[in-house]
Chain A
């Protein structure tokens, strides 16, 4: 069982959350070329190891969260609220 420590609600079962995807920085649509935009929309690195993801706490505070998780061990090392400038859900 994976437990995710929500900054608002405390430690909760992963079944309360919805996996959104790899947290990516959205390129500026005004200055991006089609290749970069396609990469942002469709390509994921899918690493075997530590990664930063977006999760949605649908059965709790209903907030998007930035979760650092190891995809091999499922260890959650950090959960924060997404801030300005960083990867956005």
Chain B
């Protein structure tokens, strides 16, 4: 049987052993560590700009600074005052852009852009995720200011980064995404900062982001 063809790569070099999931070259490593970092580059990422009180804004339903999962399993994050970033399963980008455009009609000024290949997305999960991120980011990550589903954009390791707190089964977890060109650096910076907490790279699977 022929090996699956690689049609896309992340800017982050996959940890050994390499694997192919949905056409993406990813790491096939499976880690049982308490603190893990996963390159989630294959997930669809859609940038939406629209008026918060318009049809698209109401449909998205998530205010600036918060995240929520819609009935289709898409994570909708309010990343700016009139800006949202949608995270969907691999390959759902075109359908998501179409859904937003259909809803906007002709009267509302809306932009929906598939930035799946243009931005790097990684997931940091573990009890020590918060102290790790605190080493690189000045924003208060405590529950009072940044509870589960909080979204903010700030400087992480001096890179402009969007951070989404998206806990997994009660375990603190953060989605971290930035411009593609900074992805490899930021991934390395998180690994460096997490060395004292025993961080390990985990591989990506197509079910990595269950419920997203």
- Identify the A interface with B (CB < 8 A): 8-9, 12-13, 15-16, 58-63
Contacts and interface: CB of A to CB of B under 8 A. Distances in A.
A61 B154 contact: no
Given A8-B64, A8-B81, A59 B152 contact: no
B38 to A, nearest CB: 24
Q: How many interface residues does chain B have, given as a range?
A: 10 to 19
Name A's interface SS: loop
B151 to A, nearest CB: 11
Interface in B13-38: none
A12 B154 contact: yes
Interface in B117-140: 138-139
Given A8-B64, A13-B138, A59 B81 contact: no
B155 interface: yes
A60 B64 CA distance: 12
B195 interface: no
Closest 10 CB pairs of A and B: A59-B160, A59-B155, A60-B153, A13-B138, A61-B80, A8-B81, A16-B155, A61-B81, A59-B154, A62-B80
B157 to A, nearest CB: 12
Contacts of A16: 154-155
Contact of A61 (B138, B139, B153, B155): B153
Contacts of A15: 155
A12 B80 CA distance: 15
Given A9-B154, A16-B154, A59-B160, 17 more contacts: A8-B64, A8-B81, A9-B153, A12-B139, A13-B138, A13-B155, A15-B155, A58-B160, A59-B153, A59-B154, A59-B155, A60-B154, A61-B64, A62-B80, A62-B83, A62-B153, A63-B81
A9 B160 contact: no
Contacts of B80: 61-62
A60 B83 CA distance: 12
A15 B153 CA distance: 13
Contacts of A62: 80, 83, 153
27 contacts: A8-B64, A9-B152, A9-B153, A9-B154, A12-B138, A12-B139, A12-B154, A13-B138, A13-B155, A15-B155, A16-B154, A16-B155, A58-B160, A59-B153, A59-B154, A59-B155, A59-B160, A60-B152, A60-B153, A60-B154, A61-B64, A61-B80, A61-B81, A61-B153, A62-B80, A62-B153, A63-B81
Contacts of A61: 64, 80-81, 153
